[in-house]
Amino acid sequence: MKKVMMFLLAITLISACSHTPNTLQEKKELKAHLGKGHVSKETSVEKKIVGIPEYPKAAQRKIVKGGPDDSISNFRPDPIQNENKATYKLDLTMDSEEKFTVTAEVKVENISKDEWNEIVFYFIPNAFTEENKPESLKNAAEVSISSIELDGEKADYLLDHDTLYLPLEESFKPGEERSVTVRYTLTVPEFGFRLSNNFNNIYLAEWYPMLATYHSGWRKEDYIVSGESYFTDYSDFKVKYSLPEEYMVLSTADNDPANPSASGELESQNVKEFYMALTKNMEVVQQTAGDVEVRVAGVASTESLKQILDKSVNVLNYFSAKLSPYPQKQIDIITDEGGMEYPGIVTIGPFNEGHKDEGRGSQYFALIHEIAHQWFYGTVNNDPYYDVFIDEGLTNFATYLFLIGHDKKTPEETFAFAEQHAARTTALAHLPLHEYLNGGFMGANYEIPPLKLWELTGGEKEAFDYLSKYVELYSYQEVDTAEWIRFTKSYFKLNDDQFFQEWISYE
């Protein structure tokens, strides 16, 4: 894994040293190198000559030291303003060999003040091909782009690992909208990482070209499997699917079909990404929590799934009351994958029969944690490459608070694992993801933040008052470390930075 991480870091450094084509002549020369429909694996020699050019990169905001700007009653949020917007229309067809043919049409709006010479996407399936996949994965994805069009005309492009780069002959001016259409085929790897085919249950995570965000520069880092290294803004989705036979469809959308289907159309608005699962051998049980339909899918016994469903309803109701109402009309819980959050759907591992293990490493803890992410990731956004402690730390804090407030655990037993982990962690929070190569990721970002916030709040009610105010002020906006510190200083009337500098990097 270390070799893979170092390779990704090397790619980043190499790309940063490349030259940006700014003049018309330079763009013509680049086009001559690229050719139409350039794909790195097909023209590796040209790839070494050209590479993906350097493009404008966003800078991180500096943390302002000192006392709070104002009391929380007069506090004015200053979230990060994303400066582009994507609208997705996705059409996927699966054949009898479980190979997908996808047409992804992305409407891109430039709402910045800058003229762009490029459009940058994540194309994460390419990170799992034979030439790119991590050594830890045995099986590879098969990915082939057949064409890319820009406003209906065939377009040049470069594909390097998970970066899809479109150079533009004419600059993309502020206020304009462009249409990018990517046609490709995809075979999902068996027992992959999130994008996976497990016993003919197919999990489509990060399966389409995802527009990188823009804030006075593009915000795109290399994909790393040890964390959430991709970052997207809120978008609207229309998804059409056609399958060779009926599958149970579980997705981000609120309008999933109630029964197995071979075709359909799904829609979702104002969500960060769109996840789909196509299942053949899972039972689905469901129940309503207020106005929300809660569905649990898995291969366990019906009785076991119903127990998980009851727990899921309890968690959803609790957080909806303590934080803010759950924002969607449906939530799905898949009990066959590792723990991961997506809008409107979460995955966890199989529960132990009887669910007796409810410790920190249990699937019960994972269930609470992943549902809490619907607020800290789903409702309030942050960049997990640089600010991962914000969503993971606040999510874990809410999870611990649930154990104290709902399950009536004592703070001592609830935070015991976090205390042990923190004692052996020397790394700080707010480091770029690749700087956790030597360890400290979990302690710095998952366990120390809840301990420090418990130190500030000291009670379940006080803690949820703080978290609910945070959600209220920043719903559907992006918070970075500088803004989170600014808010927390004002909320708790902290006059200096000593509390934060003990565990957060100010670099």
Average pLDDT per block of 10 residues along the chain, 507 residues long = 37 33 38 37 36 94 90 94 98 98 98 98 98 95 98 97 97 98 98 94 98 98 91 98 98 97 98 97 95 96 94 98 98 93 96 71 95 98 98 98 97 96 96 93 98 97 98 98 97 96 96
Residue with tokens 């699937």: 363
Beta bridge partners of 267: 238
Is residue 370 part of the annotated active site? The answer reads yes
Q: What's the confidence (pLDDT) of residue 350?
A: 86
Same domain flag for 54 and 115: yes
Residue 440 CA: distances (Å) to CA of 287, 397, 413, 426, 443:
39, 18, 22, 7, 5
259 lies in a domain? no
507 lies in a domain? no
Same domain flag for 319 and 433: yes
| Feature table: binding site for Zn(2+) | 369, 373, 392
Cβ atoms 94, 181 nearer than 8 A: no
266 lies in a domain? no
pLDDT per residue as tens digits for the range 364-423? 999 999 999 999 999 999 999 999 999 999 999 999 999 999 999 999 999 999 999 999
Domain span at residue 152 reads: 2-58+83-233
247 lies in a domain? no
Tell which of 217, 233, 249 closes a domain: 233
Is residue 364 part of the annotated active site? The answer reads no
Q: Which two tokens stand for residue 361?
A: 């490493």
Residue 455 sits in a domain whose CATH number is 1.10.390.10
| Feature table: binding site | 369, 373, 392
Beta bridge partners of 289: 292
Q: What's the confidence (pLDDT) of residue 5?
A: 38
Same domain flag for 407 and 470: yes
Residue with tokens 């098969």: 142
Same domain flag for 95 and 216: yes
End-to-end CA distance of the chain: 26
Active-site annotation holder among 337, 341, 370, 483: 370
Same domain flag for 337 and 466: yes
Tell which of 233, 260, 292 closes a domain: 233
The count of other CB atoms within 10 Å of the CB of residue 137 is 17
Cα–Cα distance for residue pair 498/481, rounded to 1 Å: 15
Cβ atoms 127, 100 nearer than 8 A: no
Cβ atoms 188, 195 nearer than 8 A: yes
Burial class (CB in 10 A: 0-12, 13-18, 19+), 264: middle
User: HSE-up of 75 (CA within 13 Å, CB side)?
Assistant: 24
Question: CB under 8 Å, gap of 24 or more: what pairs does 75-79 form?
Answer: 75/473, 75/487, 75/490, 75/491, 77/473, 77/474, 77/477, 77/483, 77/487, 78/483, 78/486, 79/474, 79/477, 79/478, 79/479, 79/483
Active-site annotation holder among 400, 446, 474, 491: 446
Pairing of strands 218-219, 213-214: antiparallel
Same domain flag for 227 and 299: no
The count of other CB atoms within 10 Å of the CB of residue 423 is 9
248 lies in a domain? no
Tell which of 208, 233, 258 closes a domain: 233
Q: What's the confidence (pLDDT) of residue 356?
A: 63
Residue with tokens 């600059």: 171
Nearest Cα to 273, choosing from 339, 210, 327, 180?
210
The count of other CB atoms within 10 Å of the CB of residue 494 is 16
Q: Which two tokens stand for residue 181?
A: 């259409």
Nearest Cα to 372, choosing from 278, 305, 470?
470
Cα–Cα distance for residue pair 232/434, rounded to 1 Å: 19
Cα–Cα distance for residue pair 96/58, rounded to 1 Å: 43
Q: What's the confidence (pLDDT) of residue 374?
A: 98
- Please tell me the total count of domains within the chain: 2
Q: Which two tokens stand for residue 267?
A: 């829609």
Cβ atoms 467, 405 nearer than 8 A: no
